[in-house]
Amino acid sequence: MALQAERTVAVAGPSGAGKSTLLRLIAGLLTPSAGRVECGGERWFGPGVNVPVERRRIGFVFQHYALFPHLSVHRNVSFQARRPVGELLELLGIDHLRDARPGALSGGERQRVALARALATEPQLLLLDEPLSALDPTTREAVTGELARHLAEAGVPSLVVTHAYQEAAVLAERIVVVESGKVVQDGSPQQLLDSPASRFVADFAGINYLAGEAHGRTVRLASGQRVSTVDAVEGPVAVLVAPWDLTLSLVEPEGASALNHLRGRVGQVTMLGNRARVTVGELTAEVTPESVRRLGIGPGDPLVATWKATSTRVVPRVADQTAGRSAAELRSR
């Protein structure tokens, strides 16, 4: 897979998928058993070639930043620097912290120091391993946009590892989803939403994925329930519906224009600020907290999820839709 210059690519997937291992293979911290690693036309690993880690022009921002606790911000960034440190501190808005030590900084400030230190080496490629995971949820949301801006301004090809779709969508124009060391989908954030290649990708992007068999404009699900669609198709398919397109009720609504009504029991109710996520059977709905209070629902309660045929998308379903490419075979151009 090719990484175009001056672009940020997100590598996403669950814990244990191989995301962090991929970064360490690229950086030379681990040695691949096969394949090749190239950057800017220079081969770092391949048959007869294994460039030492210190000779690979890599800037690495580790998950917990790995700053030297006994050194000031300025001295941290100065470590192996190849460009003026002062301009980087100004670029990232941390010049006023130059004499502070990491222990006195907030999570967002430590992240910017780690990014400045990585950029100070004038890398050909920037690697960021879960750079937001050390932040609390409130700070994390604010810092995500800030990090995206800094990466764009840096103009260095970047790989950012994350397990959250929203972070990947903000940080990158392109998302590579890996599972068990394999690339399962590679596309824009919108492509992952519109056409997830598997149930796993749909779950990652937050889209409901219902496997079934299509006959015309009707899809029969494994549960025996049926879903109406706008497009007529045949064969094994996946029905896609966004959580925010679902409405919930205790009984099937009468006279409603929506054609699809799936019955199920409530699995979990999670409050997320001004919205609530409710699992109903195989579906996850996103509704207002007021709707949850009005329905008076809890785990185990029967519920009906309703949505329109026009809100239903159908994609072909393949049993194991993987790209069959090793995630270690990453090239940067």
The string of DSSP letters for 260-321 reads EEEEEEEEEEEEETTEEEEEETTEEEEE-HHHHHHHT--TT-EEEEEE-GGG-EEEE--TT-
pLDDT of res. 221 = 92
Contact predicate 260/308, CB 8 Å = yes
Radius of gyration for the alpha carbons in the chain, expressed in angstroms and rounded: 23
Mean pLDDT of 262-289: 91
Of 116-120, 147-151, 169-173, 230-234, where does mean pLDDT reach its minimum? 147-151
Q: What is the pLDDT of residues 228-243, one digit of tens each?
A: 998 888 999 999 999 9
How is residue 240 written in tokens?
Answer: 């896609």
Mean pLDDT of 149-156: 83
pLDDT of res. 4 = 47
Establish how many alpha carbons lie within 13 A of residue 235's alpha carbon, considering only the half-sphere containing its beta carbon.
Answer: 5
Name the CATH architecture for the domain at 2-196+323-332. 3-Layer(aba) Sandwich (3.40)
Q: Taking the CA atoms of 82, 329, 65 and 29 in sequence, report the sign of the dihedral they define.
A: negative
pLDDT band, residue 72 (cuts 50/70/90) = very high
pTM exceeds cut of 0.75: yes
pLDDT band, residue 132 (cuts 50/70/90) = confident
pLDDT of res. 18 = 86
* Count of CB atoms situated within 10 Å of the CB of 286: 16
Residues β-bridged to residue 237: 212, 316
pLDDT of res. 29 = 92
Mean pLDDT of 307-313: 90
Domain ranges of the chain: 2-196+323-332
pLDDT band, residue 213 (cuts 50/70/90) = very high
Percent of the chain whose predicted confidence (pLDDT) is above 90: 42
Q: What is the pLDDT of residues 22-70, one digit of tens each?
A: 899 999 999 998 889 988 888 999 999 999 998 998 988 887 888 899 9
pLDDT of res. 255 = 66
Mean pLDDT of 85-112: 88
pLDDT of res. 256 = 66
What's the rounded Cα separation, in Å, for the pair 127 and 219?
43
